[in-house]
């Protein structure tokens, strides 16, 4: 039986682990930067419920990625961490630029990205917080099959978000498909709505939102076999210091093992007007 240590205690333990990490410090390391400014900057992308979104006419950000960021800010306020008030600031980004934005110190972190070897070479990735399967969402009336191979046809056009692991998965697992790489989710969805693409290649949670908002999509989503998924977490820049990354890794471990990450996800699914029961059983947290 797994022993579950309360999340608040684990936050303190995460900091204790980070404090013991003492490589050469960079002049502009993330830990000291947040300590000085009292601002924790996280990347946001519009229209990505249940990850992150804004209701029409509202400037307030919602979603489990947002809740995770707020929870980190609260953990940083702990006397055993920064011991000061920390404000969350939201920085617009895109899948095509998110890694570059982290590297350039335009943001301190981003939540909701798959952990890949390519990304780990560019930024420090913490997690995993959860794992999601790659899926296809077909236009109504289109159904080539239930395997990756059945979509691997030059005649089949698949819209994906540029620079995502979903794009990488579709190119690798359905290599003969014609991939249309779009800048963001709205453009990918529009490609299917307008008849320029036969299907949307995405992940389970983003797929729930796409189906809800777009009657032109078939339901349910297709989880091609064999099931392919990647662990997901977040990223922060390599700052030559490492204290903030160590803190984030401790926080991520505590968040997943306490069930807090799962709670954030399920609550955000419901808050977005999606049905938590619609999450396919293949999805593993």
In a structure prediction context, what are the per-residue pLDDT tens digits for the chain, which is 285 residues long?
Answer: 444 444 454 554 454 444 444 444 445 899 999 999 999 999 999 988 899 999 888 899 999 999 999 999 999 999 999 999 999 999 999 988 999 999 999 999 999 998 989 999 999 999 999 988 899 999 999 999 999 999 999 999 999 999 888 999 999 999 999 999 998 888 999 999 999 999 999 988 888 888 887 888 988 889 999 988 888 999 999 999 999 999 999 999 999 999 999 999 989 999 988 876 666 665 666
Q: How far apart are CA 99 and CA 123, in angstroms?
A: 7
Query: Measured between alpha carbons, how far is residue 270 from residues 24, 201, 237, 275, 279 in Å?
Result: 45, 23, 32, 6, 11
Q: How far apart are CA 22 and CA 1, in angstroms?
A: 34
Res 276: pLDDT: 67
Res 1: pLDDT: 43
Domains detected in the chain: 7-131+230-278 (3.40.190.10), 132-213 (3.40.190.10)
Res 56: pLDDT: 86
Res 184: pLDDT: 87
Res 23: pLDDT: 45
Instruction: Give strand pairing partners of 132.
Output: 230
Rounded to whole angstroms, the maximal C-alpha distance in the chain is 59
Res 281: pLDDT: 66
Query: Which pair of tokens denotes residue 31?
Result: 């830990």
Res 218: pLDDT: 86
Look at residues 275, 143, 146, 116 and name the one whose alpha carbon lies nearest to residue 211. Answer: 275
Quote the distance between the C-alpha of residue 223 and its chain's center.
19
The pTM for the full model equals: 0.77
Pairing of strands 229-236, 124-138: antiparallel
């Amino acid at each position: 039986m797994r022993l579950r240590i309360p999340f608040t205690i684990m936050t303190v333990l995460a900091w204790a682990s980070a404090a013991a990490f003492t490589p050469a410090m960079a002049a502009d390391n993330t830990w000291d930067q947040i300590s000085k400014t009292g601002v924790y900057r996280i990347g946001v992308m519009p229209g990505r419920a249940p990850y992150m979104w804004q209701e029409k006419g509202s400037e307030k950000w919602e979603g489990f990625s947002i809740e995770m960021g707020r929870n980190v800010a609260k953990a940083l306020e702990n006397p055993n961490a920064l011991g000061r008030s920390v404000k969350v600031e939201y920085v617009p980004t895109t899948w095509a630029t998110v890694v570059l934005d982290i590297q350039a110190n335009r943001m301190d972190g981003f939540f909701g990205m798959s952990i890949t070897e390519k990304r780990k070479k560019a930024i420090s990735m913490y997690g995993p917080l959860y794992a999601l399967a790659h899926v296809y969402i077909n236009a109504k009336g289109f159904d080539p099959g239930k395997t990756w191979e059945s979509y691997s046809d030059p005649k089949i056009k698949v819209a994906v978000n540029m620079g995502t692991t979903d794009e990488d998965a579709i190119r690798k697992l359905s290599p003969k498909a014609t991939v249309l790489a779009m800048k963001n989710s709205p453009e990918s969805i529009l490609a299917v709505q307008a008849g320029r693409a036969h299907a949307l290649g995405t992940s389970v949670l983003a797929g729930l939102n796409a189906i809800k908002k777009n009657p032109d999509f078939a339901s349910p989503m297709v989880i091609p076999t064999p099931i392919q998924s990647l662990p997901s977490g977040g990223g922060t820049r390599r700052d030559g210091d490492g204290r903030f990354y160590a803190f984030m890794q401790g926080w991520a471990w505590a968040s997943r093992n306490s069930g807090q990450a799962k709670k954030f996800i399920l609550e955000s699914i419901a808050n977005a007007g999606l049905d938590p029961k619609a999450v396919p059983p293949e999805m593993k947290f």
